[in-house]
Structures are given as structure tokens and as C-alpha cells.
Amino acid sequence: MKIYYLFLFIFLFPLVNAATLSMSPQQIDFNGNVGEKICNNINLKTENGAVLIGETGWAKENYFERKLKSHNLSEEDLNLIIDYPREIEIFNNKTIEVCVTGKKSGNYHGIILYRVKNKPVRVGIWMNVTLEGKGFQIITGNFLGGDGTGVKTGLVISPIIFLIILGGLLFFNRKKKDKIQ
């Protein structure tokens, strides 16, 4: 009987002493406009229930090499807002949503990493973010606000700016007419 316990112990030993974590897919792309919230799903999987701690790292703009140590900037450094669960409890597997909002057009390369709390395993997947400018309102919004609310502020204030410019043009037009007369 003891020999059976010995075999059972030998079989279970590697399971008890190994930490496993899976993430998929290996890369997610966020393509959209400045100020737009762009979302993607990722899947997380562990062999047993676990608490995962998430973090992101970013490379300087227009750097796309898959080198972890070059991704030492924060999302704030690049004026990006990343919305994802910083801490999450999962049982076997879970799909989570990752959303990106940017304030400046450009191409950004980042990594999202999850680590099993109090375990020695951490896994990451790459993120490609491509943001394009969206015209006058967005530019005005960024100029006025400089943060996420700026875009909304711009949408409200830009008609006022438009009226001021229109008023100015009418004023100059009237002045020109007065000169001619």
C-alpha cells in the first residue's frame, strides 16, 4: 500500500511545485482616433484559482521591437489612458477587456503583463496602438484641455471659436467696405 502512496506523491509532486499562467492572443492591436476609447479582449488562464496582478509597460513612440527592457515608460508618459483590471481573481480562465484612449496621434508599442500573486510566474502580451488625429475639434480639444476632458471641452467650445472667427471676418469685411466708400 505504501508503494502506491509513493507513486502518487511522485506524480503529484511536479503539479504542486509548478506555477503556470497563460495569456492569449500574443498581440492585440488598437487602431482608432485620438480621444476614442478602443477596446480588445484578452484571455487569462491558470491551472487553479488565483489572484492576478496586472501592469503595463511602454516603449518610446515609434519603437516596435519586442524587447521587454525597452518598455520602461508608463502610460502617463505617452498621454495614454489604459483601462484594465489591475487585480483580478480568476478560476481556471477568464476573458477581460483592455481599453486604450489616447490624447495624441501616433504609433505606440506596449506590453500588458499579469503575474500570479505570490507566485514566481508572469506572462505578457504585446500591444500595438495606432491613433490618428480627427480634425479641428480634436486639435482644439487637446489644445484647450490637454487631458481627457479637453476633447469634450473642445466639442463645446469650438462652435464659440467658430463664431468669434466669423465675427472677426464680418468685422474686417465691414471695415474694408467702409474704406472703399
Partner 1 sequence: MKTKKLLGIIFVFGIFLFAGFVNATDSDEMLVKVNVLETEVSISVPEEVVFEDIAQGYLSERQEIEINNLGTVDVDVSMDLDESYNGSIFQNIAFRKVLADPLIYIRYFNFEILKPETVGGERGEEVYMYLDLTEYEEEITSSMFDHEATVVFTAVPL
**Orientation of helix 148-180 relative to helix 136-144, angle to 10°:** 110
59-88: contacts with partner 1 (CB under 8 A): 66, 68-69
User: Could you say which of 23, 50, 80, 138 contacts partner 1 (CB under 8 A)?
Assistant: 23
CB 138 within 8 A of CB 33: yes
The span of 12-20, 82-90, 134-142, 154-162 binding partner 1 (CB under 8 A) equals 12-20
Q: How far is CA 116 from the centre of its chain?
A: 21
Name the segment binding partner 1 (CB under 8 A); options: 115-123, 146-154, 160-168, 169-177.
115-123
- For the chain, give the longest Cα–Cα distance: 116
34 vs 59 by CB, closer to partner 1: 59
Task: Please report where in the chains the cell 500574443 appears, as a residue.
Answer: 26
- Number of residues this chain uses to bind partner 1 (CB under 8 A): 28
Q: Could you give phi then psi for residue 82, rounded to 5 degrees? A: -110, 120
CB of 142 to partner 1, least distance (A): 32
CB 77 within 8 A of CB 24: no
Name the site residues for partner 1 (rule: CB under 8 A): 17-27, 43, 45, 66, 68-69, 111, 113, 115, 118-126
